[in-house]
């Protein structure tokens, strides 16, 4: 088992800062979820840097609860109501997501907004290289991820009730402003030259965008549940960053795994892909293009710099929450150490794009 797999898989006792009144939750579930019957046992998933996520076990069924974290929160972050909406809509369109049961916006129940969904029973791989599957099957797991993101980008938002889920057009400009603004606003986490320079360059060099689709915003291996024995995605998780936007930005965020070193979210850069039966970046991009009717993914280096900028800003936010004592994961301190190295890597991508 890989180090990340061991650190992030499974559950643990609920962290002190994230505990709540379980009796109140039991009453809410009894009143709002058909077929619910206690008693209820609560554990906290080890993974999850932003919204605390819990396993709710009853004698007859296992549920998952996602909530906003307690404490001071940045504006527009931790939007569990949007997660609930997009998961519910995509489930109705036969996209692989867990079934949802209810959203609670009454903070008197557990202290913050939350929603409840099915527990998708399967496997989560925290190492992008899938070291725990047979070599002969590894390409099939990559193909399953590729097919799933292509399916997501095939939906016309209006057709699945998500036409107003975000603004149409100017996705890159809005994202750069959002994450750059949050980075600038969080002075407790500190600032550094490469990130400041990248923020300005990205905003001044935005390429044209072609389409508007539902974008996940954090589409990677460890946000998917795979079938217990087959190379098939049965549920995509963690929709907090989803909105309407540029599908190429979403896909290149996913494909960024090829340019991230193993020290950053178990990336693939520097690995012997052929020896491990992993498709190359070019092969992976070509498969997505075939599935979505494209000939190419233009401006790849710009998109990679943009996505690394986003990740750096997100981890910068984790660093700030760690400093303030509101971080959701016990691994927040380790994540915080990655901010400046990742920002420098993002600037290297920008230089490839002409910065």
Helix axis angle, 281-292 relative to 247-255, nearest 10°?
Answer: 150
Name the pLDDT band for 325 (thresholds 50, 70, 90).
confident
Same domain, 249 and 325: yes
**Structural domain ending residue among the three candidates 89, 118, 147:** 118
The number of residues in the chain equals 355
Same domain, 140 and 100: no
Cα 219 versus chain centre, distance: 5
Instruction: Read off the pLDDT of residues 133-168 as tens digits, 9 standing for 90 and up.
Output: 999 999 999 999 999 999 999 999 999 999 999 999
Residue 123 lies in a domain: no
Domain residues for the domain of 219 are: 135-352
Bond prior to 39 in cis (omega within 30° of 0): yes
Same domain, 144 and 112: no
Looking at residue 192, its pLDDT comes to: 86
Same domain, 229 and 326: yes
Same domain, 89 and 206: no
Q: Is the pLDDT of residue 1 over 50?
A: no
Name the pLDDT band for 242 (thresholds 50, 70, 90).
very high
Residue 256 lies in a domain: yes
Looking at residue 7, its pLDDT comes to: 52
Same domain, 238 and 329: yes
Both tokens assigned to 339: 């901010």
Longest CA span, the chain: 60
Mean pLDDT of 178-189: 90
Same domain, 90 and 142: no
Q: Give the other-Cβ count within 10 Å of 305's Cβ.
A: 28
Same domain, 141 and 194: yes
Q: Is the pLDDT of residue 74 over 70?
A: no
Residue 145 lies in a domain: yes
Residue 127 lies in a domain: no
Same domain, 149 and 219: yes
**Structural domain ending residue among the three candidates 62, 90, 118:** 118
Both tokens assigned to 135: 């070599």
Specify the CATH number for the domain of residue 26. Answer: 3.30.200.20
235 phi and psi, to 5 degrees?
-160, 135
Residue 130 lies in a domain: no
Same domain, 71 and 194: no
Residue 124 lies in a domain: no
252/245 Cα distance (integer angstroms): 13
> Reduced to 3 states, what is the DSSP secondary structure of residue 205?
coil
Question: How many helices (H) and strands (E) in the chain?
Answer: 12, 10
Pairing label, strands 100-104, 53-57:
unpaired
Residue 12 lies in a domain: yes
Same domain, 173 and 31: no
Residue among 333, 342, 339, 346 nearest 49 (CA)? 333
Q: Into how many domains does the chain fold?
A: 2
Instruction: Read off the pLDDT of residues 23-67 as tens digits, 9 standing for 90 and up.
Output: 999 999 999 999 999 899 999 987 655 688 999 999 999 999 999
**Structural domain ending residue among the three candidates 118, 147, 164:** 118
pTM listed for this prediction: 0.89
Same domain, 215 and 102: no
Q: Give the other-Cβ count within 10 Å of 353's Cβ.
A: 18
Instruction: Read off the pLDDT of residues 6-31 as tens digits, 9 standing for 90 and up.
Output: 555 677 888 888 899 999 999 999 99
315/310 Cα distance (integer angstroms): 9
């Amino acid at each position: 088992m890989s180090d990340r797999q061991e650190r992030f898989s499974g559950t643990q006792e609920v962290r002190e800062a994230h505990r709540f009144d379980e009796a109140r939750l039991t009453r809410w579930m009894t009143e709002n979820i058909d077929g619910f019957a206690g008693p209820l046992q609560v554990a906290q998933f080890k993974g999850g840097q932003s919204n605390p996520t819990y396993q709710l076990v009853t004698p007859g069924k296992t549920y998952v609860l996602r909530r906003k974290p307690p404490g001071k929160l940045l504006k527009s972050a931790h939007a569990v109501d949007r997660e609930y909406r997009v998961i519910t809509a995509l489930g109705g369109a036969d996209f692989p997501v867990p079934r949802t049961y209810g959203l609670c916006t009454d903070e008197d129940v557990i202290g913050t907004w939350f929603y409840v969904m099915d527990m998708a029973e399967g496997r989560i791989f925290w190492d992008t290289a899938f070291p725990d599957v047979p070599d002969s099957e590894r390409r099939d797991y990559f193909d399953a991820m590729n097919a799933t993101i292509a399916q997501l980008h095939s939906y016309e938002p209006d057709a699945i009730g998500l036409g107003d889920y975000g603004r149409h057009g100017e996705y890159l400009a809005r994202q750069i402003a959002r994450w750059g603004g949050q980075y600038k606003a969080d002075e407790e986490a500190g600032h550094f030259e490469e990130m400041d320079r990248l923020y300005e360059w990205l905003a001044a060099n935005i390429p044209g965008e072609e389409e508007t689709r539902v974008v996940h915003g954090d589409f990677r291996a460890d946000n998917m549940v795979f079938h217990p024995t087959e190379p098939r995605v049965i549920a995509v998780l963690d929709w907090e960053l989803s909105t309407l936007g540029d599908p190429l930005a979403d896909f290149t965020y996913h494909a960024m795994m090829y340019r991230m070193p193993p020290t950053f979210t178990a990336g693939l850069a520097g690995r012997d892909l052929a020896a491990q039966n992993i498709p190359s970046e070019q092969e992976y991009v070509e498969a997505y293009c075939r599935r979505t009717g494209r000939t190419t993914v233009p401006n790849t280096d710009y998109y990679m710099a943009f996505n690394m900028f986003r990740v750096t800003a997100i981890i910068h936010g984790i660093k700030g929450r760690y400093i303030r004592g509101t971080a959701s994961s016990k691994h927040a301190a380790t994540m915080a150490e990655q901010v400046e190295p990742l920002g420098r890597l993002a600037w290297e991508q920008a230089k490839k794009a002409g910065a």
